[in-house]
Amino acid sequence: MNVLRALRPRSYRARIAVAIIAALAIAVLMLQIGWRVIVQGQVQDVVERNLALQAQEVAVAVDRVGVDGAIAAERFLPDTSMVVREQGVVLYWNEPVQDLDARAVGRSGDITVTLERRSEASGVDDWAITVALGIGLVGLGVLVWLLSGRLARRLRAEAQALADQAERVAAGDLSARAPEPDDELGRVAAAMNRMTEQLDAADARQREFLADVAHELRTPVTAIDGFATALADGTAHRDEDRTEAAEFIREEAARLSGLVRDLQQLTVLDLDPRIDPRPADLAELGRQAVTRLSADAQARGIDLQGPAEDDRVAVVTDAGHVETVLANLVTNALRATPPGGRVRVVADGDHREAWLRVEDTGRGIAAEHLPRLFDRLYRVDPARGRTDQSGSGLGLAIVRRSAEVLGGRMEVESEVGRGSAFTLRLPAAPAPVPPREATPEAVAR
Protein backbone atom coordinates (compact mmCIF):
# COMPACT_ATOMS: atom_id res chain seq x y z
CA MET A 1 0.00 0.00 0.00
CA ASN A 2 2.82 2.41 0.83
CA VAL A 3 4.51 1.54 -2.48
CA LEU A 4 1.32 2.28 -4.40
CA ARG A 5 0.93 5.55 -2.52
CA ALA A 6 4.49 6.50 -3.36
CA LEU A 7 3.92 5.72 -7.05
CA ARG A 8 0.70 7.72 -7.20
CA PRO A 9 1.04 10.74 -9.55
CA ARG A 10 1.51 14.03 -7.72
CA SER A 11 0.83 16.61 -10.45
CA TYR A 12 -2.39 17.33 -12.30
CA ARG A 13 -0.63 16.62 -15.57
CA ALA A 14 0.55 13.17 -14.53
CA ARG A 15 -2.83 12.24 -13.08
CA ILE A 16 -4.68 13.32 -16.23
CA ALA A 17 -2.18 11.55 -18.48
CA VAL A 18 -2.33 8.33 -16.45
CA ALA A 19 -6.12 8.38 -16.44
CA ILE A 20 -6.40 8.93 -20.20
CA ILE A 21 -3.68 6.42 -21.08
CA ALA A 22 -5.33 3.82 -18.85
CA ALA A 23 -8.63 4.48 -20.61
CA LEU A 24 -6.92 4.13 -24.00
CA ALA A 25 -5.21 0.91 -22.93
CA ILE A 26 -8.55 -0.54 -21.90
CA ALA A 27 -10.02 0.58 -25.22
CA VAL A 28 -7.17 -1.10 -27.13
CA LEU A 29 -7.62 -4.28 -25.12
CA MET A 30 -11.32 -4.31 -25.86
CA LEU A 31 -10.56 -3.67 -29.54
CA GLN A 32 -8.13 -6.59 -29.64
CA ILE A 33 -10.65 -8.86 -27.97
CA GLY A 34 -13.29 -7.70 -30.40
CA TRP A 35 -10.97 -8.34 -33.33
CA ARG A 36 -10.27 -11.87 -32.21
CA VAL A 37 -13.81 -12.77 -31.28
CA ILE A 38 -15.72 -11.08 -34.08
CA VAL A 39 -13.46 -10.39 -37.06
CA GLN A 40 -11.28 -13.49 -36.84
CA GLY A 41 -14.32 -15.64 -36.18
CA GLN A 42 -16.02 -14.39 -39.32
CA VAL A 43 -12.88 -14.79 -41.41
CA GLN A 44 -12.38 -18.31 -40.00
CA ASP A 45 -15.92 -19.25 -41.02
CA VAL A 46 -15.37 -17.98 -44.57
CA VAL A 47 -12.03 -19.82 -44.93
CA GLU A 48 -13.49 -23.06 -43.60
CA ARG A 49 -16.49 -22.87 -45.95
CA ASN A 50 -14.18 -22.38 -48.96
CA LEU A 51 -11.88 -25.10 -47.74
CA ALA A 52 -14.85 -27.46 -47.38
CA LEU A 53 -15.83 -26.86 -51.02
CA GLN A 54 -12.27 -27.47 -52.15
CA ALA A 55 -12.00 -30.67 -50.07
CA GLN A 56 -15.23 -31.92 -51.64
CA GLU A 57 -13.96 -31.23 -55.17
CA VAL A 58 -10.65 -33.02 -54.46
CA ALA A 59 -12.56 -36.01 -53.04
CA VAL A 60 -14.69 -36.22 -56.22
CA ALA A 61 -11.57 -35.99 -58.41
CA VAL A 62 -9.75 -38.74 -56.47
CA ASP A 63 -12.85 -40.92 -56.57
CA ARG A 64 -12.99 -40.47 -60.35
CA VAL A 65 -9.30 -40.63 -61.48
CA GLY A 66 -7.45 -41.88 -58.41
CA VAL A 67 -4.50 -40.35 -56.56
CA ASP A 68 -3.53 -38.37 -59.65
CA GLY A 69 -6.52 -36.18 -59.02
CA ALA A 70 -5.10 -35.23 -55.59
CA ILE A 71 -1.67 -34.56 -57.08
CA ALA A 72 -3.17 -32.34 -59.76
CA ALA A 73 -5.26 -30.42 -57.22
CA GLU A 74 -2.29 -29.83 -54.93
CA ARG A 75 -0.81 -27.35 -57.46
CA PHE A 76 -3.86 -25.11 -56.93
CA LEU A 77 -3.83 -25.37 -53.14
CA PRO A 78 -0.59 -23.72 -51.90
CA ASP A 79 0.14 -23.65 -48.18
CA THR A 80 -2.47 -26.35 -47.70
CA SER A 81 -2.02 -29.68 -45.94
CA MET A 82 -3.81 -32.57 -47.70
CA VAL A 83 -4.53 -36.14 -46.56
CA VAL A 84 -6.41 -38.58 -48.82
CA ARG A 85 -7.93 -41.77 -47.32
CA GLU A 86 -9.89 -44.62 -48.73
CA GLN A 87 -11.91 -46.45 -46.14
CA GLY A 88 -9.54 -45.10 -43.48
CA VAL A 89 -6.36 -46.06 -45.32
CA VAL A 90 -4.09 -43.18 -46.28
CA LEU A 91 -3.57 -43.04 -50.02
CA TYR A 92 -1.75 -39.71 -50.25
CA TRP A 93 -0.43 -36.83 -48.13
CA ASN A 94 1.85 -33.89 -48.78
CA GLU A 95 4.43 -32.09 -46.68
CA PRO A 96 2.92 -30.87 -43.36
CA VAL A 97 2.43 -27.16 -42.93
CA GLN A 98 2.86 -25.62 -39.43
CA ASP A 99 0.41 -23.46 -37.47
CA LEU A 100 -2.73 -24.47 -39.35
CA ASP A 101 -6.00 -23.37 -37.86
CA ALA A 102 -8.64 -23.91 -40.62
CA ARG A 103 -9.74 -27.53 -41.36
CA ALA A 104 -12.34 -29.11 -43.64
CA VAL A 105 -13.27 -32.65 -44.78
CA GLY A 106 -14.74 -33.68 -48.15
CA ARG A 107 -16.22 -37.14 -49.06
CA SER A 108 -17.03 -38.93 -52.26
CA GLY A 109 -17.83 -42.64 -52.09
CA ASP A 110 -15.11 -44.36 -50.02
CA ILE A 111 -12.74 -41.40 -50.46
CA THR A 112 -12.20 -38.91 -47.64
CA VAL A 113 -10.06 -35.78 -48.22
CA THR A 114 -8.92 -33.62 -45.28
CA LEU A 115 -7.57 -30.13 -46.01
CA GLU A 116 -5.93 -27.81 -43.47
CA ARG A 117 -4.82 -24.25 -44.09
CA ARG A 118 -3.76 -21.13 -42.20
CA SER A 119 -6.58 -18.60 -41.80
CA GLU A 120 -6.02 -15.22 -43.43
CA ALA A 121 -6.91 -13.51 -40.13
CA SER A 122 -4.23 -15.30 -38.15
CA GLY A 123 -0.48 -15.62 -38.17
CA VAL A 124 1.34 -12.53 -39.22
CA ASP A 125 -1.85 -10.47 -39.03
CA ASP A 126 -1.98 -10.94 -35.25
CA TRP A 127 1.40 -9.45 -34.50
CA ALA A 128 0.97 -6.80 -37.21
CA ILE A 129 -2.23 -5.61 -35.60
CA THR A 130 -0.64 -5.74 -32.16
CA VAL A 131 2.35 -3.72 -33.35
CA ALA A 132 0.10 -1.21 -35.08
CA LEU A 133 -2.04 -0.81 -31.99
CA GLY A 134 1.05 -0.46 -29.82
CA ILE A 135 2.47 2.27 -32.06
CA GLY A 136 -0.89 4.01 -32.07
CA LEU A 137 -1.08 3.80 -28.28
CA VAL A 138 2.39 5.31 -27.92
CA GLY A 139 1.45 8.10 -30.31
CA LEU A 140 -1.75 8.76 -28.44
CA GLY A 141 0.17 8.73 -25.17
CA VAL A 142 2.50 11.44 -26.45
CA LEU A 143 -0.47 13.49 -27.64
CA VAL A 144 -2.24 12.98 -24.33
CA TRP A 145 0.86 14.05 -22.43
CA LEU A 146 1.06 17.28 -24.42
CA LEU A 147 -2.64 18.02 -24.06
CA SER A 148 -2.63 17.12 -20.37
CA GLY A 149 0.24 19.53 -19.84
CA ARG A 150 -1.86 22.36 -21.22
CA LEU A 151 -4.86 21.34 -19.14
CA ALA A 152 -2.72 20.90 -16.03
CA ARG A 153 -1.27 24.40 -16.45
CA ARG A 154 -4.79 25.79 -16.65
CA LEU A 155 -5.87 23.86 -13.57
CA ARG A 156 -2.78 24.98 -11.66
CA ALA A 157 -3.43 28.60 -12.63
CA GLU A 158 -7.06 28.42 -11.49
CA ALA A 159 -6.14 26.62 -8.26
CA GLN A 160 -3.38 29.15 -7.61
CA ALA A 161 -5.85 32.00 -8.11
CA LEU A 162 -8.18 30.44 -5.56
CA ALA A 163 -5.30 29.91 -3.11
CA ASP A 164 -4.14 33.52 -3.58
CA GLN A 165 -7.64 34.79 -2.94
CA ALA A 166 -7.98 32.66 0.20
CA GLU A 167 -4.64 33.93 1.51
CA ARG A 168 -5.59 37.56 0.82
CA VAL A 169 -8.95 37.12 2.55
CA ALA A 170 -7.24 35.42 5.50
CA ALA A 171 -4.91 38.42 5.68
CA GLY A 172 -7.90 40.78 5.87
CA ASP A 173 -8.18 41.89 2.23
CA LEU A 174 -11.92 41.40 1.58
CA SER A 175 -11.67 43.04 -1.84
CA ALA A 176 -9.86 39.97 -3.25
CA ARG A 177 -11.70 38.25 -6.08
CA ALA A 178 -10.75 35.19 -8.13
CA PRO A 179 -11.42 34.77 -11.88
CA GLU A 180 -14.45 32.63 -12.68
CA PRO A 181 -13.75 30.32 -15.64
CA ASP A 182 -16.53 28.23 -17.13
CA ASP A 183 -15.73 24.92 -15.44
CA GLU A 184 -15.96 23.17 -12.06
CA LEU A 185 -13.25 25.30 -10.48
CA GLY A 186 -15.10 28.31 -11.84
CA ARG A 187 -18.09 27.31 -9.72
CA VAL A 188 -15.82 27.10 -6.68
CA ALA A 189 -14.36 30.51 -7.53
CA ALA A 190 -17.86 31.98 -7.91
CA ALA A 191 -18.89 30.56 -4.53
CA MET A 192 -15.74 31.96 -2.88
CA ASN A 193 -16.33 35.34 -4.52
CA ARG A 194 -19.90 35.40 -3.20
CA MET A 195 -18.66 34.44 0.23
CA THR A 196 -16.02 37.18 0.14
CA GLU A 197 -18.59 39.72 -1.03
CA GLN A 198 -20.85 38.76 1.87
CA LEU A 199 -17.94 39.04 4.30
CA ASP A 200 -17.04 42.42 2.81
CA ALA A 201 -20.62 43.63 3.11
CA ALA A 202 -20.88 42.32 6.68
CA ASP A 203 -17.60 44.02 7.56
CA ALA A 204 -18.83 47.27 6.03
CA ARG A 205 -22.09 47.02 7.98
CA GLN A 206 -20.16 46.27 11.14
CA ARG A 207 -17.94 49.30 10.64
CA GLU A 208 -20.93 51.47 9.87
CA PHE A 209 -22.71 50.09 12.91
CA LEU A 210 -19.75 50.83 15.18
CA ALA A 211 -19.48 54.34 13.76
CA ASP A 212 -23.21 54.90 14.36
CA VAL A 213 -22.94 53.54 17.90
CA ALA A 214 -20.03 55.88 18.58
CA HIS A 215 -22.08 58.78 17.22
CA GLU A 216 -25.12 57.78 19.27
CA LEU A 217 -23.03 57.51 22.41
CA ARG A 218 -21.22 60.78 21.75
CA THR A 219 -24.47 62.80 21.65
CA PRO A 220 -25.68 62.07 25.21
CA VAL A 221 -22.13 62.03 26.57
CA THR A 222 -21.47 65.48 25.11
CA ALA A 223 -24.74 66.81 26.54
CA ILE A 224 -24.03 65.34 29.95
CA ASP A 225 -20.49 66.75 29.92
CA GLY A 226 -21.72 70.19 28.90
CA PHE A 227 -24.39 70.50 31.54
CA ALA A 228 -22.17 68.94 34.20
CA THR A 229 -19.48 71.52 33.35
CA ALA A 230 -22.07 74.28 33.66
CA LEU A 231 -22.97 73.03 37.11
CA ALA A 232 -19.34 72.65 38.13
CA ASP A 233 -17.98 76.04 36.98
CA GLY A 234 -20.97 78.04 38.18
CA THR A 235 -22.28 78.98 34.73
CA ALA A 236 -25.66 77.65 35.82
CA HIS A 237 -25.82 79.81 38.95
CA ARG A 238 -29.55 80.28 39.20
CA ASP A 239 -31.75 77.62 40.76
CA GLU A 240 -33.83 77.24 37.59
CA ASP A 241 -30.65 76.88 35.49
CA ARG A 242 -29.29 74.21 37.77
CA THR A 243 -32.64 72.42 37.75
CA GLU A 244 -32.75 72.54 33.97
CA ALA A 245 -29.17 71.25 33.71
CA ALA A 246 -29.90 68.41 36.11
CA GLU A 247 -33.02 67.50 34.13
CA PHE A 248 -31.07 67.44 30.88
CA ILE A 249 -28.39 65.29 32.50
CA ARG A 250 -31.04 62.88 33.73
CA GLU A 251 -32.72 62.64 30.32
CA GLU A 252 -29.46 62.10 28.46
CA ALA A 253 -28.31 59.54 31.02
CA ALA A 254 -31.60 57.70 30.54
CA ARG A 255 -31.10 57.83 26.75
CA LEU A 256 -27.57 56.51 27.17
CA SER A 257 -28.77 53.76 29.48
CA GLY A 258 -31.46 52.73 26.99
CA LEU A 259 -28.95 52.56 24.16
CA VAL A 260 -26.56 50.43 26.20
CA ARG A 261 -29.42 48.17 27.27
CA ASP A 262 -30.54 47.66 23.67
CA LEU A 263 -26.95 46.97 22.59
CA GLN A 264 -26.62 44.37 25.30
CA GLN A 265 -29.92 42.75 24.32
CA LEU A 266 -28.97 42.65 20.65
CA THR A 267 -25.57 41.18 21.50
CA VAL A 268 -27.25 38.41 23.49
CA LEU A 269 -29.60 37.68 20.58
CA ASP A 270 -26.64 37.52 18.17
CA LEU A 271 -25.14 34.75 20.32
CA ASP A 272 -28.15 32.48 19.61
CA PRO A 273 -29.45 32.30 23.17
CA ARG A 274 -31.22 29.22 24.45
CA ILE A 275 -34.98 29.52 24.10
CA ASP A 276 -37.57 27.94 26.36
CA PRO A 277 -40.44 26.85 24.09
CA ARG A 278 -43.69 26.20 25.91
CA PRO A 279 -47.39 26.20 24.96
CA ALA A 280 -48.60 29.78 24.81
CA ASP A 281 -51.48 31.90 23.54
CA LEU A 282 -50.47 34.72 21.18
CA ALA A 283 -53.78 36.47 21.74
CA GLU A 284 -53.18 36.52 25.49
CA LEU A 285 -49.64 37.85 25.00
CA GLY A 286 -51.12 40.60 22.82
CA ARG A 287 -53.68 41.51 25.50
CA GLN A 288 -50.95 41.66 28.13
CA ALA A 289 -48.85 43.99 25.97
CA VAL A 290 -51.83 46.29 25.50
CA THR A 291 -52.44 46.32 29.26
CA ARG A 292 -48.80 47.25 29.99
CA LEU A 293 -48.75 50.12 27.48
CA SER A 294 -52.29 51.42 27.87
CA ALA A 295 -51.19 54.24 30.20
CA ASP A 296 -48.67 55.50 27.63
CA ALA A 297 -51.34 55.31 24.91
CA GLN A 298 -53.79 57.31 27.01
CA ALA A 299 -51.17 59.95 27.72
CA ARG A 300 -50.62 60.33 23.96
CA GLY A 301 -54.32 60.39 23.19
CA ILE A 302 -54.18 57.18 21.13
CA ASP A 303 -56.75 54.38 21.07
CA LEU A 304 -54.83 51.18 21.84
CA GLN A 305 -56.77 47.97 21.14
CA GLY A 306 -55.86 44.34 21.74
CA PRO A 307 -57.22 40.93 20.68
CA ALA A 308 -60.76 40.07 21.75
CA GLU A 309 -61.18 38.35 25.10
CA ASP A 310 -62.32 35.08 23.52
CA ASP A 311 -59.50 34.92 20.95
CA ARG A 312 -57.12 31.99 21.29
CA VAL A 313 -54.06 31.37 19.08
CA ALA A 314 -52.01 28.33 20.12
CA VAL A 315 -48.24 28.24 19.67
CA VAL A 316 -45.24 26.59 21.28
CA THR A 317 -42.71 29.35 21.69
CA ASP A 318 -40.65 31.40 24.15
CA ALA A 319 -43.13 33.91 25.52
CA GLY A 320 -40.35 36.20 26.77
CA HIS A 321 -39.04 36.84 23.26
CA VAL A 322 -42.56 37.37 21.94
CA GLU A 323 -43.15 39.96 24.68
CA THR A 324 -39.93 41.73 23.62
CA VAL A 325 -41.15 41.88 20.02
CA LEU A 326 -44.59 43.18 21.04
CA ALA A 327 -43.15 45.80 23.40
CA ASN A 328 -40.95 47.23 20.63
CA LEU A 329 -43.62 47.11 17.94
CA VAL A 330 -46.37 48.68 20.06
CA THR A 331 -44.01 51.36 21.44
CA ASN A 332 -42.89 52.26 17.90
CA ALA A 333 -46.52 52.35 16.73
CA LEU A 334 -47.45 54.73 19.56
CA ARG A 335 -44.56 57.02 18.68
CA ALA A 336 -45.51 57.06 14.99
CA THR A 337 -49.24 57.70 15.57
CA PRO A 338 -50.54 61.22 16.18
CA PRO A 339 -53.12 61.99 18.91
CA GLY A 340 -56.54 60.72 17.97
CA GLY A 341 -55.10 57.80 16.02
CA ARG A 342 -55.44 54.09 16.66
CA VAL A 343 -53.01 51.24 17.34
CA ARG A 344 -54.36 47.70 17.21
CA VAL A 345 -52.83 44.31 18.10
CA VAL A 346 -54.32 41.37 16.18
CA ALA A 347 -53.64 37.66 16.77
CA ASP A 348 -54.64 34.93 14.33
CA GLY A 349 -53.36 31.78 12.66
CA ASP A 350 -54.04 28.67 10.63
CA HIS A 351 -52.80 25.07 10.58
CA ARG A 352 -49.36 26.14 9.27
CA GLU A 353 -48.46 29.28 11.21
CA ALA A 354 -49.68 31.82 13.74
CA TRP A 355 -49.13 35.56 13.67
CA LEU A 356 -49.32 38.75 15.70
CA ARG A 357 -49.90 41.99 13.81
CA VAL A 358 -49.47 45.51 15.17
CA GLU A 359 -51.36 48.04 13.04
CA ASP A 360 -51.30 51.82 13.40
CA THR A 361 -52.81 54.84 11.68
CA GLY A 362 -49.58 56.83 11.89
CA ARG A 363 -47.56 58.70 9.32
CA GLY A 364 -46.46 55.57 7.47
CA ILE A 365 -43.11 54.71 5.91
CA ALA A 366 -41.98 55.40 2.34
CA ALA A 367 -41.33 52.33 0.19
CA GLU A 368 -37.62 53.11 -0.26
CA HIS A 369 -37.04 52.72 3.48
CA LEU A 370 -38.72 49.32 3.89
CA PRO A 371 -35.76 47.13 2.74
CA ARG A 372 -33.50 48.64 5.43
CA LEU A 373 -36.10 49.17 8.10
CA PHE A 374 -34.77 46.37 10.32
CA ASP A 375 -31.13 47.39 9.96
CA ARG A 376 -29.35 48.43 13.12
CA LEU A 377 -29.47 52.14 13.98
CA TYR A 378 -31.35 52.84 10.74
CA ARG A 379 -33.81 55.70 11.05
CA VAL A 380 -36.44 56.61 8.50
CA ASP A 381 -36.14 60.32 9.30
CA PRO A 382 -32.66 61.30 10.55
CA ALA A 383 -33.96 64.77 11.33
CA ARG A 384 -36.13 63.28 14.09
CA GLY A 385 -33.47 60.80 15.08
CA ARG A 386 -32.63 62.20 18.49
CA THR A 387 -35.82 63.65 19.91
CA ASP A 388 -37.42 62.28 23.00
CA GLN A 389 -39.90 60.49 20.74
CA SER A 390 -37.23 58.37 19.15
CA GLY A 391 -35.70 55.21 20.48
CA SER A 392 -32.19 53.90 20.24
CA GLY A 393 -32.57 52.89 16.60
CA LEU A 394 -32.10 49.25 17.59
CA GLY A 395 -35.69 48.31 18.39
CA LEU A 396 -36.59 46.85 15.00
CA ALA A 397 -33.23 45.11 14.75
CA ILE A 398 -34.04 43.45 18.09
CA VAL A 399 -37.49 42.56 16.75
CA ARG A 400 -36.12 40.85 13.65
CA ARG A 401 -33.41 38.99 15.52
CA SER A 402 -35.92 37.83 18.16
CA ALA A 403 -38.19 36.53 15.40
CA GLU A 404 -35.28 34.62 13.89
CA VAL A 405 -34.37 33.12 17.28
CA LEU A 406 -37.97 31.93 17.60
CA GLY A 407 -37.85 30.32 14.16
CA GLY A 408 -40.22 32.89 12.68
CA ARG A 409 -39.99 35.96 10.50
CA MET A 410 -41.07 39.60 10.32
CA GLU A 411 -43.16 41.27 7.63
CA VAL A 412 -44.00 44.95 7.20
CA GLU A 413 -46.56 46.80 5.13
CA SER A 414 -46.80 50.57 5.10
CA GLU A 415 -48.24 53.50 3.15
CA VAL A 416 -47.29 57.09 3.74
CA GLY A 417 -50.14 58.98 5.41
CA ARG A 418 -52.19 55.82 6.12
CA GLY A 419 -50.11 53.88 8.65
CA SER A 420 -48.11 50.69 9.00
CA ALA A 421 -48.59 47.05 9.92
CA PHE A 422 -45.81 44.87 11.38
CA THR A 423 -46.44 41.11 11.50
CA LEU A 424 -44.61 38.45 13.51
CA ARG A 425 -45.15 35.01 11.99
CA LEU A 426 -44.41 31.86 14.00
CA PRO A 427 -44.91 28.13 13.38
CA ALA A 428 -48.32 27.03 14.59
CA ALA A 429 -48.67 24.50 17.38
CA PRO A 430 -51.27 21.73 17.55
CA ALA A 431 -50.99 21.56 21.33
CA PRO A 432 -53.94 23.08 23.24
CA VAL A 433 -53.34 26.31 25.11
CA PRO A 434 -54.02 26.27 28.84
CA PRO A 435 -56.98 28.40 29.97
CA ARG A 436 -56.16 32.06 30.49
CA GLU A 437 -55.98 33.21 34.08
CA ALA A 438 -56.77 36.88 34.48
CA THR A 439 -54.77 37.36 37.65
CA PRO A 440 -53.05 40.54 38.83
CA GLU A 441 -49.70 38.78 38.43
CA ALA A 442 -50.43 38.01 34.78
CA VAL A 443 -51.45 41.59 34.13
CA ALA A 444 -48.29 42.85 35.87
CA ARG A 445 -46.14 40.78 33.53
| Residue 102 · residue 43 · CB < 8 Å | no
197-270 sits in which CATH class?
mainly alpha
Would you list the domain boundaries of the chain?
2-126, 197-270, 278-444
Residue 84 parent element (H or E): strand 80-86
CB-based contact 113:55 (threshold 8 Å): yes
Residue type, position 321, single letter:
H
Q: What is the pLDDT of residues 165-214, one digit of tens each?
A: 788 888 888 788 888 777 667 788 888 888 888 888 777 767 777 776 77
pTM: 0.52
Pairing state of beta strands 342-349 and 353-360? antiparallel
Phi–psi pair at 154, nearest 5 degrees = -65, -45
Q: Which residues contact 207 (CB under 8 A, 6 or more apart)?
A: none
| Per-residue b or e along 344-371, where b marks 16 or more CB atoms closer than 10 Å to that residue's CB | bbbbebeeeebbbbbbbbbbbbeeebee
Element (H, E) at 25: helix 12-34
Query: Exposed, middle or buried by CB within 10 Å (0-12, 13-18, 19+), for 82?
Result: buried
Q: Is 343 helix (H, G, I), strand (E, B) or coil?
A: strand
Q: Which of 360, 362, 285, 368 is nearest to 327 (CA)?
A: 285
121-166 tens-digit pLDDT: 554 455 556 666 667 667 766 776 676 666 767 777 777 888 887 8
pLDDT by 10s per residue, the chain, length 445: 565 556 565 555 566 666 666 776 777 677 666 666 665 667 677 778 888 888 888 888 888 888 888 888 888 888 788 888 988 888 888 877 666 778 888 898 889 988 888 765 554 455 556 666 667 667 766 776 676 666 767 777 777 888 887 888 888 887 888 887 776 677 888 888 888 888 887 777 677 777 767 767 777 788 888 888 888 887 777 778 788 888 888 888 887 887 788 788 777 887 778 888 999 999 999 999 999 999 999 999 999 999 999 999 999 999 999 999 999 999 999 999 999 999 999 999 988 899 999 999 999 999 998 988 888 777 776 544 444 445 667 888 889 999 999 999 999 999 999 999 999 999 986 544 444 444 433 333 3
Say if CB 322 and CB 424 are below 8 A apart: yes
DSSP-derived 3-state class of residue 409: strand
| Multiple choice CATH, 278-444, 3.30.200.20, 1.10.3720.10, 3.20.20.140, 3.30.565.10 | 3.30.565.10
